Every structure is written in structure tokens, then in C-alpha cells.
Copies of this chain bind each other. A is one copy, B any other.
Amino acid sequence: MVNPLEQDHVQVETVDADELREAWSVLAREDRFEGFRLLPRVEAEDFFMSLTALDQAEILLQLPIDQRRSWIRMLPPDDVADLIQEVPLEERDAILAALDVVTRKEVTALLLYAEDEAGGLMSPRYARVRPEMTADEAIRYLRRQVREHPETIYYAYALDADQKPIGVLSLRELFMAPPDTRVGEIMQTELVLASDDLDQEALSRLFRDSDLVAIPVVDDDGKMKGIVTSDDILDVVQEEATEDMQKYGGVEALDAPYLNTGFLSMIRKRAGWLVVLFVGEMLTASAMGYFEHEIARAVVLALFIPLIISSGGNTGSQASTLVIRAMALGEVRMSDWWRVLRREIGAGLTLGAILGLIGFVRILVWPTRDTLYGEHYLLIAMTVSASLMFVVLWGALSGSMLPILLKRVGFDPASASAPFVATLVDVSGIVIYFTFASLFLRGTLL
């Protein structure tokens, strides 16, 4: 028996998890299944339970059919449903057949739901009581249920004759109550419920706002179908944040850890956006081609192009990251677009003025000012600084409005990635810059 009392042990535990993960990620590049078979049964079971549905499915499919049953039966129905969704269609029936009758029925019901809605995340096993029971009866009743369906229980739900939830009480409340109190007297009747088609993002907000450990899921008729627990939501939240971050960086979501993603699949997920952005950015060459004669007459103008367009791109990245994240957290909704716009007009003008001023001073105080910029350095400084102000304002506006616009037409706001916004602002920045140049320099440099 391991002695968990030593401080050493605390560290060993953590290292163990790390080492297992390390071993697994090594296995990922070798033959996973061989590595798995080398583990003793108990370690293999712990390991199997800790894997994602995708990895569990991969292992299961490599086992001979007669050995699959004991593995699949270790999983609760919601995890089995997740696993089956990772398995090729022709293998699904064989896996369903390995389940006991009750679980098979539950899993089949779960498979009807999309993976990313409340119904697809819920467990159909929860603790139920009846309002007319006494606290003592309810505890005895729960003990029996729990013996049949070994799932963790957080709350006990009181259902009416139609299977509709009418109250909830925590085990704590049940324990605290005098033994002969009726459940109906102590249960809370104001329930937080999730409909089975509630999207997982909305569900995670419901958890955040309610601070509950479990939320019951009901169908269209209000009948209770299961519960979603906060540890299931933890995975969802991490997954969504990863997807959003990757999209925002201009990559299609990888759906697997970086080091475990196949090289070709990673190239595909990156090349797509990169080529789209490249084609978009070609417009900068066209735009500059249009101003070729201006550049030939005043080469000095070309020097500031990267500075001006990148400042717009940077401001755009800032604005889009703030709005995308605020939308993901539900802090900003589409109807807030006007408030966001007003804020970003203010922010864009202020930030533009700051950068414009620095740019202006930079040109005026540059040591080689006269040889580099010639006699019209003041006009050049004005052109650069006015362009900076407008490009920064434009960056703030497009960066903040693009996510809202994308959502409006049904896309993921996170697709308004930093590179996307930068490309948009680059092209328009060049036009803005040369417009100011012809305004200020016509007759002198141009």
C-alpha cells in the first residue's frame, strides 16, 4: 500500500501524472497500442479512464472483439457516447452490443444529441427522490439507487409523476434536515434548468452565473433527461478557448495537441488561411503599383509604409482580441455594437493621436533629417502623422466591428484573426497614406 503521507509522495503523484503524459506523447509517435499493452491491468485501467474519447476509441479498436467488453463497460454512458462518436460507423454496432441492456439504451438516447449541446454533454444517471419522502427515507432511497448506478451524486432531484423536475436538494441539506422532515418542505423549488439543445457556450455561462456543480437537462416537454456536471464543462471551456485562440492566430482549430498533430494535417490547417491572406495581401502590391509614379518621384514616402500599415494592424489586433473574448464570455452581444463602436472611435482617435505625435517628432528630430527627407521634411512629417492617426482609427474600427459582423452573418467571431485584420488594414492603409501624400505634397514633392 502506498503511503500518501510523505511530502515526497505529493510530488511523486504529480510527477507520475506528468510521466504518464510524457510516456503517452512518446507512444503517440511510436506504436501506442504496444505501449498500452505493456502496462499492468490496474495501471492500464487508470490510464484508459484518463484518456480522451478519441484515444480510448483508438485503443479499443485495436483490441480483439472479445476483450473489448470489460474496457467499454468501465465507462459511464456519457463517456461511451463520446467514444462511439470517434469510431467509424461500421464499428459502432459492435461496441453498442458489448454494453449491458440499460446502458445501451442510455447511450443510444445520448447519441441522438449533438456533441456540443447540453443533451450531448449530460449524464443520464442522477439521483432522484420524491417530494413526499422524509429525509430519512430519501437517504435510504438514495443509498439503494447509488448501489445500482454507481455515479457520483451531487444533488438529488425531486420529480413529479410526469418526470418533470419540481425541486432540488443537496445531500448536505438532506443530511442537515431533521430525519422526519418531508423532502417537499426542504427542497429548493427555483430551479436552474438547461434545455437539451442548449449550446455548450451558453451552458458554460449558465454554470458561471449560477455557481452550481450540476445542472439538470430537460427536453421540450420539460421532462428531466439527465444532468451536466461542472467537470464536464471544464473540458468544454478549455477546448473552446483553444479553438478561439488558434482561430485568432490565423490557424484552423487543430482538434489535437500540437505535438500529436500529423505534419501534413498541420500544414493543411495553416496553409489554407495563409494562402487566403497572401492573396488578399497581394492587393498591397496592386495598390502600391497604382502609386508607383508617386513613389518614383519621392522614394522617401516608401520608407514609412511598413510603419504606418503595421500600426493600423496592431491596433486592429488589440480591438479584435478584446471584442472576440468579450463575446465568447457573453460580456458583449451583437446588440452592443453601437456601444463598442463609440468606445473604439474614442480609443482609435486617442491611440492614433499618440502614435501620430511620436511619428511627427521622430521625423523632426532625426539626425540625418535633411539628407534623408530633404527640404520638405515638415510636409512629410505631417503626411506620416495624419496617416497614422487615420490608419490607427481605421484599425480600431475594423478590428472591433469585424467580429460582430462575422457573427451577424453566421461565422465564428474568432475568425476575425490578427492576421486577417492586419491584412485588411494593410491594403486600406496604403490607400489612406497615399491619399494624404497627394493632399499635402502635391506641388512640392509630388
A interface list, Cβ under 8 A from B: 1-7, 9-11, 13-14, 17, 21, 25, 49-50, 142-143, 146-147, 150-154, 160, 162, 164-167, 170-172, 175-176, 189-195, 202, 204, 206-213, 218, 220-222, 229-231, 233-235, 237-238, 241-242, 244-246, 248-251, 254, 257-260, 263, 266-267, 270-271, 273-275, 277-279, 281-282, 284-285, 288-289, 292, 295-296, 299-300, 302-307, 309-311, 313-315, 317-318, 320-326, 329-332, 336, 339-340, 343, 346-347, 350-351, 354-355, 358-359, 362, 372, 417-419, 422-423, 426, 430
The distance in angstroms between the C-alpha atoms of A202 and B13, with both chains bound, is 13
Report whether B270 and A351 are in contact in the complex, using a CB–CB cutoff of 8 Å.
yes
Report whether A4 and B189 are in contact in the complex, using a CB–CB cutoff of 8 Å.
yes
Report whether B172 and A171 are in contact in the complex, using a CB–CB cutoff of 8 Å.
no
* Other-chain contact of A10, B222, B325, B419 (Cβ < 8 Å): B222
Pick from A142, A254, A279, A314 the residue with the most CB of B within 10 Å. Answer: A314
A335 → chain B, closest Cβ, in Å?
10
Question: Assuming the A-B contacts A303-B285, A307-B282, are A326 and B5 also in contact, with contact meaning beta carbons closer than 8 angstroms in the complex?
Answer: no
The distance in angstroms between the C-alpha atoms of A300 and B251, with both chains bound, is 32
Contacts of A313 in B (CB 8 A): 419, 422
Report whether A4 and B281 are in contact in the complex, using a CB–CB cutoff of 8 Å.
no
How many copies of this chain does one complex carry? Answer: 2
Contacts of A321 in B (CB 8 A): 245-246, 248-251
The distance in angstroms between the C-alpha atoms of A264 and B304, with both chains bound, is 29
The distance in angstroms between the C-alpha atoms of A21 and B300, with both chains bound, is 53
Contacts of A273 in B (CB 8 A): 314, 318
Residues of A contacting B: mostly: helix
The distance in angstroms between the C-alpha atoms of A129 and B415, with both chains bound, is 52
A360 → chain B, closest Cβ, in Å?
12
* Other-chain contact of A191, B4, B245, B263, B346 (Cβ < 8 Å): B4
Report whether B299 and A281 are in contact in the complex, using a CB–CB cutoff of 8 Å.
no
Contacts of A190 in B (CB 8 A): 2, 4
* Other-chain contact of A5, B25, B222, B300 (Cβ < 8 Å): B222
* Closest B residue by C-beta to A418: B418
The distance in angstroms between the C-alpha atoms of A244 and B242, with both chains bound, is 11
The distance in angstroms between the C-alpha atoms of A392 and B91, with both chains bound, is 43
The distance in angstroms between the C-alpha atoms of A323 and B151, with both chains bound, is 37
* Closest B residue by C-beta to A263: B346
Contacts of A279 in B (CB 8 A): 358
A114 → chain B, closest Cβ, in Å?
18
